[in-house]
Amino acid sequence: MVNESAVVKFFKGYGRLTIFMMPIGIAINFIGGQIALLLKLPVYLDSIGTILVGATCGMGPGAVVGAISNILNAITSPPTLAFGVLNIMFGLLAGYLARRGVFKSWSKTLLSAIPFALIGGVLGAIITIWVFGGLAVGGGAIVVGALVALGLDVNTANFVAQVPMDILDKVPTVMIVFAIIKGIPNRTHAKLPLGYIYLGKNKAGASTKPSGTSVS
């Protein structure tokens, strides 16, 4: 008997709702990314779905959504394929932060934009310099070009531009994710791998609230 492929085993480890959430996350990423590219916005908008799936379904599904999203975006913008590792890392980080309860609080969610932006900004700048010789793609090219015109060398311009741009991108991204999570019904959370976190329960299903505290 032929052994099951790693892909089949991976998907069998998750419920139907998680598998259903993954293409939704990919679609959100694709639409957001295409809007940003077509309008040449100084943001990316291509990781909302990745972070959402990572925060509700876990690191694995989040990483898969990030990887597939970059492959699809590369159909219309091939250079974006080089940045696939960033979206994968966003999915992994989202799952990790979710387990620590970050996305239960709007203030913690807002602060989570910083590590996401550091991953996207610093690693994004390194990839741009290493793979493209400092020639930024998308809306970032406009900002980098302006900084070079002001006298900065192209490498410095990439680092100076990328981190602030990523913060500008990740703040609305994580807050949109927070709003979506808050809008998900409890009955749906109950079927998601990390839904117990947002229901105030531990992984075994027991409430984490102190005894005597009413559950809304």
Per-residue pLDDT of 44-103, as tens digits, reads 888 999 999 999 999 999 999 999 998 987 887 788 888 899 999 999 999 999 999 999
For the record, the structure tokens of 155 come out as 């490498």
Q: 3-state DSSP call for residue 215?
A: coil
Q: Which residues pair with 207 in a beta bridge?
A: 201
Q: For 79, what's the count of Cα atoms within 13 Å in the CB-facing half-sphere? A: 16
At residue 207, φ and ψ (nearest 5 deg) are -65, 140
215 has a pLDDT exceeding 80: no
Q: Measured between alpha carbons, how far is 25 from 55 in angstroms, rounded to an integer?
A: 11
What's the pLDDT score for residue 28? Answer: 94
In the prediction, which pLDDT does 205 show? 61
Between CA 110 and CA 7 the distance in angstroms is 34
CA angle 73, 74, 80 (to 5 degrees): 95
Q: At 197, which helix (H) or strand (E)? A: helix 195-198
Average confidence (pLDDT) over 22-46? 85
Q: What are the tens digits of pLDDT across the range 163-202?
A: 898 999 999 999 999 999 999 999 999 999 999 999 997 7
pTM: 0.86
What is the overall mean pLDDT for the chain? 87
CA pseudo-torsion sign 198, 200, 204, 205: negative
Domains of the chain: 6-198 (1.10.1760.20)
Residue-wise pLDDT for 148-170, tens only, equals 999 999 999 999 988 898 999 99
C-alpha distances in Å from residue 169, one per residue of 122, 149, 152, 161, 215 = 14, 24, 23, 12, 35
The one-character DSSP state at 212 is: T
